[in-house]
Amino acid sequence: MIEDRTTSVSAASGPAPAPITQMDYARAGIITPQMAAVASAEGREPEAIRAAVAAGRIAIPANIHHASLTPGGVGSTLDGVPLTTKVNVNLGISGDMADEATEWEKVAVALDLGADAIMDLSNSGKTRAFRTKLIEQSPAMIGTVPMYDAIGYLEKALIAITPEDFLEVVRAHAEDGVDFVTIHAGMNCRVIESFKETGRLTNIVSRGGSLIFAWMEATGRENPFYEYYDEVLAILHEHDVTISLGDAMRPGSGYDATDAAQIAELIELGKLTKRAWDAGVQVMVEGPGHMALDEIAANMKLQKRLCHDAPFYVLGPLVCDIAPGYDHITAAIGGAVAATAGADFLCYVTPAEHLRLPDAADVREGLVATKIAAHAADIAKGVPGARDHDNRMSDARRRVAWDEMFDLALDPARARAVFESAPPSTEGTCTMCGKMCAMKTVNDIMDGLTVSLS
């Protein structure tokens, strides 16, 4: 039962409780196996990871029930050195395309191509069986948006759902083993007032945000996730679920970027970040979806300033609005700029964005595009070791070592298939240059061989 907000609750005296979350352990000076795993994967000292987790600069989403997880870190160390930019894949069952087999195809693609996280955005029917099986099998971090699941899980109309009901759904996801949840707690009545006063071209494009807005308008009440934020945090702390503070007011068009509603919500998210840290809950903050290139870097700096350098998770941003069918490209361009300017986590966008639920082929295209953006940003912002893989590829190209090139490729199967689709007449080359291959020509000269182009 939710407590009466008019009643003050004093802190209980006595010994400090045993640590539960990664933040609890970090603040107690304890390096957990998850912190050690992140340090090893990133080539950092475990103590540097611990200190950054304690300060909220790094989040390690790792629910205590997710036994199959390979831990990953999101953020940067206290000296400002970023971890590798992480990439998320969205999938899940919808009302119009409730084919679980198709969703498992997408999971397979995501894991095969090395997605760091998978968000299960299922929003139709009873989704718990799919979610729990995904958690059991996935080494990637698993995220959800409990608001999406509320209507199907509770079997109630939106207007009939109570704040207690919303908390019940959050608790179910936490108990199932979800590593991070998107909670749209920042869109409170103050932010709604700003939105209504200033107006927008595309209004509210966040699905979760629109549902909460509709509930608030219908009931005349405050956003339940904001009003009962402390209760949400208590649930998340119990299971070490990272809160991903959702941006219900993210711009859904370039026209609306950096407007009053977006910034008003961002200010609230900064306050909620500190409250979560005070409760020992790890935080990521979600960021804008559509934004012109020249606004991206300033937005990243603004978010980091207002949200106290918490890890930043962005969708895109999509840098123009005229490319349906190609929005994996508009998002990859924006994502590369955003991550270079400080974003820590990119949510992929597929060619199906704005058009339909993506299929497995769309997932592949979107994930590859976003991984390219993330890696390009890691090189640009000087992530230690980021360029090493590229140097190995360049060396293999110099030696015209095709099998090595395929193995080093981000998508080895695609690279090999393209090469083999058009066999060259000159052995060791490809059909772009054939016998005029620059690599082969210079290698032959360097090896003292006679070069003949006749």
The answer to whether 249 is annotated as binding is yes
pLDDT tens, residue by residue, 286-343: 999 999 999 999 999 999 999 999 999 999 999 999 999 999 999 999 999 999 999 9
Q: What pLDDT score does 95 carry?
A: 77
The reported pLDDT for the residue numbered 12 is: 47
**Is 250 annotated as belonging to a binding site?**
yes
Per DSSP, what are the bridge partners of residue 76? 82
Q: Is the pLDDT of residue 15 over 90?
A: no
Is 354 annotated among the ligand-binding residues?
yes
- Residues 389-443: pLDDT tens digits? 999 999 999 999 999 999 999 999 999 999 999 999 988 899 999 999 999 899 9
Report whether 307 belongs to an annotated binding site: no
Is 230 annotated to bind a ligand? Reply is: no
Q: Write the single-letter amino acid at 135.
A: I
Tens of pLDDT along 255-264? 999 999 999 9
454: confidence class by pLDDT, cuts 50, 70, 90? low
Establish whether 328 is an annotated binding residue. Answer: no
**What whole-number distance in Å separates Cα of residue 8 and Cα of residue 401?**
70
Q: Set out the domains of the chain in order of their start, with CATH numbers.
A: 86-381 (3.20.20.540), 386-447 (no CATH)
Smallest CA-to-CA distance from 184 within 252, 244, 123 is with 244
1 — pLDDT class (breaks 50, 70, 90) = very low
pLDDT averaged over every residue in the chain: 94
Q: Is 123 annotated as a binding residue?
A: no
Does residue 433 have a known ligand-binding role?
yes
Average pLDDT over residues 76-92: 97
| pTM for the structure as a whole | 0.94
pLDDT of residue 187: 98
User: What was the pLDDT predicted at 3?
Assistant: 43
Instruction: Give the residue with greater pLDDT, 89 vs 1.
Output: 89
Q: For residue 9, what pLDDT band results from cuts at 50, 70 and 90? A: very low
Q: What percent of the chain has pLDDT over 90?
A: 88
| C-beta atoms surrounding 443 within 10 Å | 16
Task: Give the integer Cα–Cα distance in Å for 210 and 216.
Answer: 10
229 is in an annotated binding site: no
pLDDT digits (tens, 9 = 90+) for 351-367: 999 999 999 999 999 99
- What contacts 357, CB < 8 A, 6 or more positions away? 94, 96, 97
Q: What integer pLDDT is reported at residue 399 of this predicted model? A: 95
State yes or no: 184 annotated in a binding site.
Answer: yes
* pLDDT at residue 13, as a whole number: 57
Average confidence (pLDDT) over 30-47: 98
* 206 is an annotated ligand-binding site residue: yes
255 is in an annotated binding site: no
Is position 247 annotated in a ligand binding site? Answer: yes
Q: Is 348 one of the annotated binding-site residues?
A: no
CA–CA gap between residue 346 and residue 300 (Å, rounded): 13
Question: Would the annotation count 36 as a binding residue?
Answer: no
305 known member of a binding site: no
